[in-house]
Chain A
Amino acid sequence: MKAGDRVRVRALNPPGHNRAPSYVRGRTGVVVRPVGDGRFPDEAAAVGADARREAIWTVAFTGRELWGPDGGARDLVHVDLFESYLEHP
């Protein structure tokens, strides 16, 4: 994964903790920048500091992609997402 990639947020609904806001699940955006890496929260919620580390990406979504025709044509929402939340469409 790299800046400029078009990515879609997986339609995730795990039984435990998850850090992908529901309003971006299933939505497509563009990777803007790498944030670095961090403890994968879904796993960290269960096992703490032993959780695996994973890359985090800032993904930009247009207002129209998120909210349909009522979304702002010149609005961009940036969300930081762990790599395994994302897939190439």
Chain B
Amino acid sequence: MTGHHRNGELQARVNALLALAEERGIVDREEIDRRIETLDRSVSPVNGARMVVRAWNDDGYRERLLGDAGAAAAELGVAGGGYSSEIRLHAVANTPELHNVVVCTLCSCYPLAWLGPPPAWYKSEAYRSRVVRDPRGVLAEFGTTLPDDVEVRVWDASAEARYLVVPMAPDGVDALPDDEQLAVVTRDCLIGVAVPQV
């Protein structure tokens, strides 16, 4: 994920490797298609939004989410996609005193199995290199200006954990019906570059 892909060349290489792996019985093309379909059908940032909204409305769920996010996801039927049993989800909560934001500086690790594929900017060298160095500056560019006394916690997912930000419930959100509460928890809120707006 470093630099600019020459997509044609990359695709040709992927195809050659795939053909070889298939020929040798290492992968099964139908299984790959099945997994892509599962990803398209069942995995999106709405999963994360459901977890957050439930946590806003249910203190017990919030506690379980912050203790074991993978289990809390499963509780809502968000299975995690089954890509690798090694990957563990961890939820980090914003408070009036601290704000969390997620990055993968080495590549593009992202809670894909729970939230779907990451946005293109998440994989860019600009975001990956700058958010650890100047998180407040980067957040301000996303329109999220934090007071100076708020602590910023950046989570660099470089090993087996994936991070999900649990934003604070905005004022007035409890007056909204569930589907409208879900809509305020955007993908960018779950990454931590935005905060929910009512």
Contacts and interface: CB of A to CB of B under 8 A. Distances in A.
Contacts of A65: none
Given A21-B158, A80-B157, A80-B161, A74 B148 contact: yes
A56 B160 CA distance: 8
B105 interface: yes
Interface string A47-83: 0000000001010100000110001101111111110
A38 B84 CA distance: 11
B161 A79 contact: no
Among the interface residues A39, A56, A60, A75, which one has the most CB atoms of the partner chain B within 10 A?
A75
B136 A35 contact: no
Q: Classify chain B's interface size.
A: 20 to 34
A80 B153 contact: no
A23 B105 contact: yes
Interface in B143-162: 148-161
A48 B150 CA distance: 43
A30 B151 CA distance: 16
A21 B133 CA distance: 13
A77 B154 contact: yes
Contacts, number: 69
Interface SS majority for chain A: strand
Contacts of A41: 159
Interface string A26-37: 000000000110
A75 B152 contact: yes
B96 to A, nearest CB: 14
A79 B156 contact: yes
B131 to A, nearest CB: 9
Interface of B: 86, 88, 90, 105-106, 132-136, 148-161
Interface of A: 19-21, 23, 35-36, 38-39, 41, 56, 58, 60, 66-67, 71-72, 74-82
Given A76-B154, A77-B153, A81-B159, 14 more contacts: A19-B158, A21-B156, A21-B158, A35-B88, A38-B86, A39-B86, A58-B161, A60-B153, A66-B132, A72-B135, A74-B148, A75-B135, A80-B157, A82-B159
30 contacts: A19-B158, A19-B159, A20-B158, A21-B106, A21-B156, A35-B161, A36-B160, A38-B86, A38-B159, A38-B160, A39-B86, A56-B161, A58-B161, A66-B132, A66-B133, A71-B133, A72-B135, A72-B136, A72-B152, A74-B148, A74-B152, A75-B152, A76-B151, A76-B153, A77-B132, A77-B156, A78-B154, A79-B156, A79-B158, A80-B159
